[in-house]
């Protein structure tokens, strides 16, 4: 056995059988090499450590597939390459997501300024709520102003949770009717009146 890159057949069998001590030997033989390999590719030590940990977690989770016939080093570094690929892919999607948020944020500000301003939206919502039946108005305000859950509202008012849900649904439908679709979703996600 070359102690720097391979384990004995027995040690590989022990890992397949879930023996942690044998797995620790594998970890000690390869962890630093895998971490350094990842760090050389991504230039970030914390992420490289995370990738190396993921590699060994995947090896442990699929330990039944280990075989003394395959090159352990090739197997480990193939998993590492896949992890690095996934890392770059996630970074790419994350950066694209951040960019789309920046762009949509700018568009959102433009659309709010051009269609309504926040005070106008709040005014429309407030007038709509004021015209609601008393119980619906109370339930809606408890939900949106006091941030109570439907169950908390039901308990306070001594009514069923289903009744609370129905009143909130009707309140939102009335508000949506009085706002454009775009402004309604701005209200739902961004505004507490």
pLDDT in tens, 25-71: 999 999 999 999 999 888 889 889 999 999 999 999 989 888 877 78
Structure tokens at 180: 């454009």
pLDDT at residue 5 in the model: 54
Tell me the C-alpha distance between 119 and 9, whole Å: 73
List, in order, residues 6 or more apart from 8 with CB less than 8 Å away.
1
Report yes or no on whether pTM surpasses 0.85: no
Any long-range contacts for 180-188 (C-beta under 8 Å, 24+ apart)? 180/115, 182/111, 182/115, 183/115, 183/116, 183/121, 183/124, 186/108, 186/112, 186/121, 187/121, 187/125
Per residue in 130-158, pLDDT tens?
999 999 999 988 988 778 888 999 999 99
Least confident of 45-49, 91-95, 164-168: 91-95
User: Is pLDDT above 70 for 99?
Assistant: no
Q: For residue 44, what is the DSSP state?
A: -
Domains of the chain, first to last: 9-97 (1.10.1740.10), 117-190 (1.10.10.10)
Which residue reads 């690929």 in tokens? Answer: 85
Structure tokens at 73: 């080093």
Looking at residues 158-180, what average pLDDT do you find?
Answer: 86
Lowest mean pLDDT among 74-78, 122-126, 186-190: 186-190
Question: Is the Cα torsion angle 23, 28, 34, 39 positive or negative in sign?
Answer: positive
């Amino acid at each position: 056995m070359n102690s720097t890159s391979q384990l004995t057949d027995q040690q590989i069998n022990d890992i397949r059988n879930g023996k942690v001590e044998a797995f620790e030997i594998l970890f000690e033989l390869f962890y630093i090499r895998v971490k350094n390999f990842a760090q050389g590719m991504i230039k970030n030590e914390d992420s490289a450590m995370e990738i190396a940990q993921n590699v060994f977690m995947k090896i442990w989770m699929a330990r039944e597939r280990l075989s003394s016939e395959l090159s352990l080093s090739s197997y480990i570094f193939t998993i590492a390459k896949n992890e690095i690929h996934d890392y770059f892919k996630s970074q790419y999607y994350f950066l694209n997501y951040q960019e789309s948020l920046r762009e949509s944020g700018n568009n959102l500000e433009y659309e709010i300024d051009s269609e309504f301003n926040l005070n106008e939206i709040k005014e429309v919502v407030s007038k709509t709520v004021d015209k609601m039946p008393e119980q619906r108005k109370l339930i809606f305000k408890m939900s949106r102003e006091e941030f109570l859950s439907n169950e908390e509202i039901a308990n306070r008012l001594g009514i069923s949770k289903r009744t609370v849900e129905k009143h909130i649904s009707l309140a939102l439908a009335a508000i949506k009717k009085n706002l454009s679709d775009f402004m309604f979703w701005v209200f739902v996600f961004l505004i507490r009146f």
